[in-house]
């Protein structure tokens, strides 16, 4: 009798079953579904299902002009809106062989770094919340608000700015721009150590993130995992260093690398990147040259026949824009190689064998933004 | 880091029938479809080139033919190469899969299959990625959808 019961339990343990995580799940931060195959509590394999909010941005772009495309790129990775805009603008300027004024380059770099800090702040807030530390959300959003206020004052919008245009900027920045950035840096330098006190040293947090979701450097390269997630595995993949654009060749900064490759390493990379972004901001904010906010542009932008490729580093990794032009004012074909698309598909590889509770930690540490995957 | 001439020389060494266009932004090579896997494998393992990172893969519809485009990068040397393959067949376009060499290509290929209808030989899981099974191939230039897309 007792033997039979034990046998029953063992049969139950070995049974596989499928759990659908999403499309509406708080830890996927968007409409994404993981089809998770479990054996007991252990993940056997995982299949991501995407396309719930596929808008066909690439197809839409084939019917609209280049300045109009800028507004659609905001809607891909909405947390790196400035950097997405910049990618298309750099590609267009490169094709037209336009040299933008120095002032534009400096302001673009400042905006990109502010955007990176704001994005990492929101990631930190949500990541803490995913792992049960609800306080992080209040701390992170409180500080992110300061950056959004700077954005609002200069561009009138807080999240999707469409401020960077081919040839320069849409208009000049607000006279308070430099002053408020300096205020923000002074403020955030005091507040960032609080993040470490609250979460980084927390033993529960460390136990849930150390040694989880191990990704080797080879895996990162093979799956094209870029950005802080790739750098957490020791792969130096920072486009700001490899192929400097805008004013990145004029500033001194280090590429943040961690070699452990686990969830905690990816966490550390982003925390250190926030410090480094503030260093970059400090080097630039006092040295913005005077001058025009845009180069002379024709009212209708037509790219010469050819193919153009531009890579930039967003807050999540490498964004590449590939434009095929047939000489018209609309692109013949435009392709966005978005960082999250590649980062998502490594999930199966790095979560197999771990517990289902770790899945949330791993997907949080990859910092996925779903509209960027679905485009 | 190899420059344009050295890269073209290595590609021509491996595939003599390759076509090297001039005046492109990055070094480029148009190669026959049947040589794709062989060449990429060699470019990946060759000590001089070491193209181990596939940045992106996509396709372009030129109405007369499709062009599959591969952007390759080397994490060691940081040089970039654009590989192109022309697919003349329009009804049933087919090309070899690079999934075995670059796992990331599996999903780029599924996206291209979804939006262009290009089939990949030896692909482990060739299913549509974003759209439903009975939807057309929207990134083809002759695609028409009266319901959802307004013509300008």
Residue B27 counted as domain residue:
yes
Residue B111 counted as domain residue:
no
* Domain-wise residue ranges, chain A: 2-374
| Calpha distance A23→A35 (Å, rounded) | 10
Q: How many Å from the N-terminal Cα to the C-terminal Cα in chain B?
A: 46
B53 → chain A, closest CA residue: A221
Q: What is the mean pLDDT of chain A?
A: 87
Number of residues that this document lists for chain A:
375
Name which of A180, A198, A34, A235 is nearest A124 in CA terms.
A198
pLDDT at A185: 92
Instruction: Determine the 3-state secondary structure of A63 from DSSP.
Output: coil
The reply to whether residue B75 touches residue A335, judged by beta carbons under 8 angstroms, is no
pLDDT at A297: 82
pLDDT at A208: 87
Residues of chain B scoring pLDDT < 70: 149-152
pLDDT at A5: 55
Residue B13 distance to chain A (closest CA, Å): 25
Q: Does the structure show a pLDDT above 80 at A176? A: yes
- Encode pLDDT of A132-159 as tens digits: 888 888 998 999 999 999 999 888 888 8
Residue B119 counted as domain residue:
no
Residue B142 counted as domain residue:
no
The reply to whether residue A235 touches residue B130, judged by beta carbons under 8 angstroms, is no
Q: Does the structure show a pLDDT above 60 at A92? A: yes
Q: Does the structure show a pLDDT above 60 at A6? A: no
Q: Does the structure show a pLDDT above 70 at A10? A: no
Name which of A47, A279, A24 is nearest B129 in CA terms.
A47
**Residue to substitute from B76, B84, B130, B132, interface A, most A β-carbons within 10 A:** B130
DSSP line for A150-208: HHHHHHS-SS----EETTEESSPPPTTHHHHHHHHHHHHHHHHHHHIIIIIT-HHHHHH
Which residues does chain B have within 8 Å of residue A224's beta carbon, measured at their own beta carbons? 53-55, 102, 104
- Encode pLDDT of A306-348 as tens digits: 889 999 999 888 999 999 988 888 899 999 999 999 888 888 8
A2-374 topology per CATH: Cytochrome-c3 Hydrogenase; chain B (1.10.645)
Residue B33 counted as domain residue:
yes
User: How distant, in Å, are the alpha carbons of A43, A146, A168 from that of A180?
Assistant: 48, 9, 22
Which residues does chain A have within 8 Å of residue B104's beta carbon, measured at their own beta carbons? 222-224, 342, 345
Rounded to 5°, angle at Cα A49 from A205 and B112 = 125
Token pair in block for residue A290: 């005077």
pLDDT at B150: 67
Burial class (CB in 10 A: 0-12, 13-18, 19+), A9: exposed
Residue B116 counted as domain residue:
no
- Encode pLDDT of A183-218 as tens digits: 999 999 998 898 888 888 888 888 888 888 888 988
The reply to whether residue A222 touches residue B130, judged by beta carbons under 8 angstroms, is no
Q: Report how many Cβ contacts below 8 Å link chain A to chain B.
A: 72
Q: Does the structure show a pLDDT above 60 at A1? A: no
Name which of A125, A117, A142 is nearest A279 in CA terms.
A117
| Calpha distance B76→B93 (Å, rounded) | 34
| Calpha distance A306→B23 (Å, rounded) | 9
Residue B65 domain boundaries:
4-92
pTM of the model: 0.88
Residue B87 counted as domain residue:
yes
Token pair in block for residue A305: 């026949």
Instruction: Determine the 3-state secondary structure of B61 from DSSP.
Output: strand
Query: How many C-beta atoms lie closer than 10 Å to residue A114's C-beta?
Result: 22
Give the CATH number, domain containing residue B58.
3.30.460.80
Token pair in block for residue B112: 């291209």
Rounded to 5°, angle at Cα A31 from A371 and A312 = 20
Structural domain total, chain B: 1
Half-sphere exposure of B74 (CA within 13 A, CB side): 20
Residue A15 CB contacts under 8 Å (≥ 6 apart), including other chains:
A39
């Amino acid at each position: 009798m007792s033997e039979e019961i034990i046998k029953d339990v063992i049969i139950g343990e070995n049974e596989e079953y499928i759990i659908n995580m999403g499309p509406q799940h708080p830890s996927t931060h968007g409409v994404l579904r993981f089809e998770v195959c479990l054996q007991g509590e252990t993940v056997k394999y995982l299949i991501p299902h995407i396309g719930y909010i596929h808008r066909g941005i690439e197809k839409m772009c084939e019917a609209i002009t280049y300045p109009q495309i800028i507004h659609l790129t905001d809607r891909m990775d909405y947390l790196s809106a400035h950097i997405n805009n910049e990618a298309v603008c750099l590609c267009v300027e490169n094709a037209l062989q336009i040299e933008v004024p120095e002032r534009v380059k400096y302001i673009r770099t400042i905006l990109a770094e502010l955007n990176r800090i704001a994005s990492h702040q929101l990631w930190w807030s949500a990541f803490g919340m995913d792992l049960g530390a609800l306080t992080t959300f209040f701390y992170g959003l409180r500080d992110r608000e300061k950056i959004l206020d700077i954005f609002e004052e200069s561009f009138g919008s807080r999240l999707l700015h469409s401020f960077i245009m081919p040839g320069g900027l849409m208009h000049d920045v607000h006279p308070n721009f430099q002053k408020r950035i300096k205020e923000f840096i002074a403020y955030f330098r005091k507040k960032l150590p609080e993040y470490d006190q609250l979460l980084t040293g927390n033993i529960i947090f460390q136990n849930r993130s150390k040694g989880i979701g191990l990704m080797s450097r080879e895996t990162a390269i093979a799956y094209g995992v870029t950005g802080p997630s790739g750098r957490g595995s020791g792969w130096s993949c920072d486009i700001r260093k490899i192929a400097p654009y805008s004013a990145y060749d004029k500033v001194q900064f280090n590429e943040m690398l961690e070699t452990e490759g686990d969830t905690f390493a990816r966490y550390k990379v982003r925390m250190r990147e926030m410090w480094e972004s503030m260093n970059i901001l400090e080097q630039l904010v006092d040295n913005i040259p005077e001058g025009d906010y845009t180069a002379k542009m024709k009212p209708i932008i037509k790219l010469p026949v050819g193919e153009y490729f531009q890579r930039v580093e967003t807050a999540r990794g490498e964004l590449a824009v590939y434009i095929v032009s047939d000489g018209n004012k609309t692109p013949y074909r435009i392709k966005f190689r978005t960082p999250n698309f590649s980062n998502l598909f490594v999930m199966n590889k790095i979560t197999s064998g771990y517990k289902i509770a770790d899945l949330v930690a791993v997907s949080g540490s990859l910092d996925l933004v779903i509209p960027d995957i679905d485009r | 880091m190899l420059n344009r001439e050295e890269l073209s020389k290595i590609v021509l060494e491996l595939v003599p029938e390759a076509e090297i266009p001039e005046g492109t932004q990055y070094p480029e090579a148009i190669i026959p479809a049947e040589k794709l896997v062989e060449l990429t494998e060699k470019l990946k393992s060759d000590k001089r080139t070491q193209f181990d990172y596939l940045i992106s893969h996509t396709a372009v519809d030129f109405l007369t033919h499709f062009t599959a485009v591969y952007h390759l990068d080397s994490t060691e040397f940081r040089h970039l190469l654009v590989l192109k393959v022309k697919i003349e067949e329009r009804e049933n376009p087919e090309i070899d899969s690079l999934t075995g060499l670059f796992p990331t290509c599996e999903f780029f290929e599924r996206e291209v299959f979804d939006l262009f209808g290009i089939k990949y030989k030896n692909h482990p899981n060739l299913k549509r990625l974003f759209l439903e099974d009975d939807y057309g191939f929207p990134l083809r230039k002759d695609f028409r959808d009266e319901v959802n897309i307004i013509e300008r």
